[in-house]
């Protein structure tokens, strides 16, 4: 069966028109065109303002004041900017850092553009975009080619190692930065640079004799967004071509990882399981949805939804993280989800968020908004320190006592930068555009997907949200509507919420949940208050029986938040691995600063156990001591001294006090 797609109203596709348009027409990331088919459309780049007093608004403000400036500085300190100067012959020596370091520049440029869309008076960011764009323009070759790694060494050849060179991957991030600039009304020079490179890609790979794909998908979704910005059909055609060429073996065999690592082992439309490098797979699937929506290809959208089932029913961590293998930064087998060996790369969580956003726009299905929320508050939220300048690359759900955190791919605490620095600027660009994912619209009205204090401006009027979400489940929405036409306000009821209630101007409304949303239809007055209550008791969560790694364990959750226990909160002398949870004791407690922690009770041995690694079963009973346990939101862990942490906790059932 082919998924039904729906037509969207028109919005401007001319780049200059978008760059100079008013707030109502400027679009954010992933903005389907008037010729597209989908269920929902974004409300616009300037339509939502997040309140910095709320958690999401605070994260966005921290990004603006700490993370983004930090990323700009690191481009100089890491040598990424000098690599471009090296391509011009202005700096001597070999290329430094990763061969795809240009992408760090481009993601930071994209973040700066989205931030300028919110804060056009930011002189420093505007200067960064202008000076960096001018440098890139000087480095770009006459035919449009731009890649500092290749250009800085005369012995390297363009497009010679498509499996590993990341040339099109870097080009994709440049294009996305340029699109962000166009939509924010800045960086005209960068847009020209990106379009020249895109035109070269069309010339080089669009012809029948130019069959090739990039080893790291990313260019696909970028080309679609460039098509959406300019109206150029050849960009969309090339994106579709790159997708349809996968599975033909164009990348060749790979002795180290295999073809599945590159998603080149089977045609995309025939794939039944997410495989290989998690970021590559998820970026590819974001592009698949983009192409499906723009071309009306229901079969391709069905493919994305089928692979969503594979990912989220069998291969996703409780936090929304993806990738259970350090080897290849890859998806594992179904239900292979070891908490201590979780790779769960930050970029994979961001890619998942972006993929689910596109699926939400395409279908309107609540489950995609639910997954956006889960990833945002847990797998993405955990990646950035409270000071905004230190980051996790991989995000395990357990850190053992005695863990060797000296390796970059599995540190014991967040680092200020990485040799492979893909994650920090990726976080910066997502957070700078975070408000764009809060709400959507369709022909019937407005939908609220992510709850955060702030304002939403739509053609139907202004919505003012006041909430302490995710710490509290009450969301107050004040509607200041204009006009006399009836329209529908849809409020998402998260999948974790057992029973939601809603009142309008103090009067309870009996309305059934429809595919995850409470849909309120009426002619709205000039000032109407809606109160949505989403009860969020603390709860215990178990894993599917086939997730062997956490059998006999439970996790603690409240609302959308996953909680964890850190060594720092245990009594002195208690080793985290010895703790067993009393599942009958679990309460939510206010920490005094608005945050909510969980209080539980645990059991630990009163005396040391056997020293042998293995012994007879059953082991002799041991006396147990009861201790209090404090669980903190998973995204907060690692902000104190380095130490053990775990999300999945063995239960104390059958191990009562002796």
| pLDDT at residue 610, as a whole number | 87
Query: Which CATH number do you get for residue 88?
Result: 1.50.10
Handedness of CA 244, 250, 251, 253 (dihedral sign): positive
Q: How many Å apart are CA 475 and CA 501, to the nearest integer?
A: 11
480 and 432 inside one domain: no
Global model pTM greater than 0.85? yes
422 counts as catalytic? yes
Residues 198 and 293 in one domain: yes
**191 plus 310 within the same structural domain:** yes
Contacts of range 585-594, beta carbons closer than 8 Å, 24 or more positions apart: 586/538, 586/539, 586/540, 586/556, 587/538, 588/537, 588/538, 588/558, 594/468, 594/471
Write out pLDDT tens, residues 352-387.
999 999 999 999 999 999 999 999 999 999 999 999
Determine, yes or no, domain membership for 404. yes
The pLDDT tens digits for 227-242 are: 999 999 999 999 999 9
Among 533, 563, 590, the domain-final residue is 533
Residue 25 pLDDT > 60: no
- Do 414 and 509 sit in the same domain of this protein? no
- Give the percent of the chain with pLDDT over 90: 87
Q: Which of 497, 518, 533 is the last residue of a domain?
A: 533
The H or E element containing residue 130 is helix 123-139
Residues 6+ apart with CB under 8 A from 642: 405, 412, 413
Within a domain: 657: no
Q: Does 119 share its domain with 151? A: yes
Distance CA 201, CA 204 (A): 5
Inside any domain, residue 449: no
Residue-wise pLDDT tens digits, 243-273:
999 999 999 988 899 999 999 999 999 999 9
In a domain, 658, yes or no: no
What is the C-alpha to C-alpha distance for residues 353 and 56, in angstroms, rounded to an integer?
15
Number of folded domains that form the chain: 3
pLDDT digits (tens, 9 = 90+) for 429-438: 999 999 999 9
One domain, residues 139 and 234 = yes
> Is 366 contained in some domain?
yes
Q: What domain range includes position 508?
A: 460-533
Helix (H) or strand (E) holding 479: strand 474-481
Domain shared by 587 and 501, yes or no = no
- Tell me if 443 is assigned to some domain: no
Check whether residue 205 and residue 323 sit in a common domain.
yes
User: 42 and 111 share a domain?
Assistant: yes
User: What's the pLDDT at 608?
Assistant: 84
Whether 448 maps to a domain, the answer reads: no
Domain annotation covers residue 3: no
Domain termination site, one of 513, 533, 553: 533
- In terms of domains, do 203 and 344 share one? yes
User: Phi first, then psi: what are they for 654, rounded to 5°?
Assistant: 85, 0
Q: Of residues 225, 329, 371, 566, which has the active-site annotation?
A: 329
Scan for tokens 């996305």, then name that residue.
176
**Residue 516 and residue 631 in one domain:** no
Tell me which of 170, 214, 422, 423 is the catalytic residue: 422
347 tagged catalytic: no
List pLDDT tens digits, range 315-365. 999 999 999 999 999 999 999 999 999 999 999 999 999 999 999 999 999
639 and 545 co-located in one domain: yes
Q: How many residues appear in the chain?
A: 658
CATH of the domain at 469: 2.60.40
């Amino acid at each position: 069966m082919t998924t039904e797609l729906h037509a969207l109203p028109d919005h401007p596709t001319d780049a200059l028109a978008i760059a100079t348009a008013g707030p109502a027409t400027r679009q954010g990331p992933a903005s389907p065109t008037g010729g597209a088919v989908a269920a929902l459309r974004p409300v616009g780049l300037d339509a939502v303002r997040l309140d910095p007093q709320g958690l999401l608004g605070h994260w966005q403000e921290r990004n603006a004041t700490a993370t983004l400036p930090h990323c700009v500085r690191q481009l100089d300190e890491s040598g990424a900017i000098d690599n471009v100067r090296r391509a011009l012959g202005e700096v001597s020596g070999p290329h430094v850092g990763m061969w795809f370091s240009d992408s760090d520049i481009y993601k930071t440029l994209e973040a700066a553009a989205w931030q300028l869309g919110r804060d056009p008076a930011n002189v420093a960011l505007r200067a960064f975009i202008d000076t960096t764009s001018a440098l890139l323009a000087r480095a770009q070759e006459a035919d449009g080619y731009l890649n500092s790694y290749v250009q800085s060494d005369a012995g390297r050849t363009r497009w010679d190692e498509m499996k590993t060179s990341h040339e099109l991957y870097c080009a994709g991030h440049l294009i996305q930065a340029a699109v962000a600039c166009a939509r924010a009304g800045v960086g005209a020079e960068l847009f020209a640079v990106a379009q020249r490179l895109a035109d070269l890609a069309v010339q080089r790979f669009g012809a029948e004799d130019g069959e090739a794909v990039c080893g790291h998908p990313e260019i696909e979704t970028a080309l679609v967004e460039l098509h959406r910005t300019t109206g150029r059909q050849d960009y969309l055609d090339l994106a579709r071509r790159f997708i349809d060429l996968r599975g033909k073996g164009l990348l060749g065999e790979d002795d180290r990882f295999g073809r599945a690592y590159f998603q080149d082992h089977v045609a995309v439309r025939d794939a039944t399981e997410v495989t290989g490098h998690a970021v590559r797979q998820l970026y590819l699937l974001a592009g698949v949805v983009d192409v499906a929506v723009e071309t009306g290809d229901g079969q391709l959208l069905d493919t994305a939804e089928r692979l969503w089932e594979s990912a989220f029913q069998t291969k996703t961590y409780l936090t929304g993280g993806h990738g259970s293998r350090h080897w290849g930064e890859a998806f594992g087998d179904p239900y292979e989800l070891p908490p201590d060996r979780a790779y769960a790369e930050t970029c994979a969580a961001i890619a998942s968020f972006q993929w689910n956003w596109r699926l939400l726009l395409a279908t309107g299905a609540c489950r995609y908004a639910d997954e956006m929320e889960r990833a945002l508050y847990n797998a993405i939220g955990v990646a950035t320190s409270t000071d905004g300048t230190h980051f996790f690359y991989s995000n395990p759900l357990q850190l053992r006592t005695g863990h060797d955190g000296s390796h970059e791919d599995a540190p014991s605490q967040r680092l200020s930068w990485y040799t492979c620095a893909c994650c920090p600027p990726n976080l910066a660009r997502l957070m700078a555009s975070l408000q764009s994912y809060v709400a959507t619209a369709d022909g019937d009205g407005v939908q609220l997907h992510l709850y955060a204090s702030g304002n939403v401006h739509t053609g139907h009027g202004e919505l003012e949200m006041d909430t302490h979400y995710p710490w509290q489940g009450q969301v107050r929405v004040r509607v200041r509507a204009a006009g006399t036409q009836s329209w529908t306000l849809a409020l998402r009821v998260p999948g974790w919420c057992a029973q939601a209630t809603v009142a309008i101007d103090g009067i309870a409304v009996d309305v059934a949940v429809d595919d995850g949303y409470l849909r309120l239809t009426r002619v709205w007055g000039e000032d109407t208050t809606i109160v949505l209550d989403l009860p969020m008791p603390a709860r215990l969560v178990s894993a599917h029986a086939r997730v062997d790694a956490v059998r006999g364990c439970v996790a603690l959750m409240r609302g959308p938040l996953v909680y964890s226990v850190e060594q720092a909160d245990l009594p002195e002398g208690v080793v985290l691995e010895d703790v067993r949870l009393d599942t009958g004791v679990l309460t939510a407690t206010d920490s005094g600063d608005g945050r909510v922690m969980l209080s539980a009770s645990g059991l630990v041995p009163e005396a040391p156990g056997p020293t042998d690694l293995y012994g007879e079963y059953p082991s002799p009973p041991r006396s147990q001591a009861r201790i209090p346990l404090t669980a903190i939101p998973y995204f907060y862990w690692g902000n104190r001294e380095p130490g053990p942490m775990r999300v999945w906790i063995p239960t104390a059932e059958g191990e009562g006090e002796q």
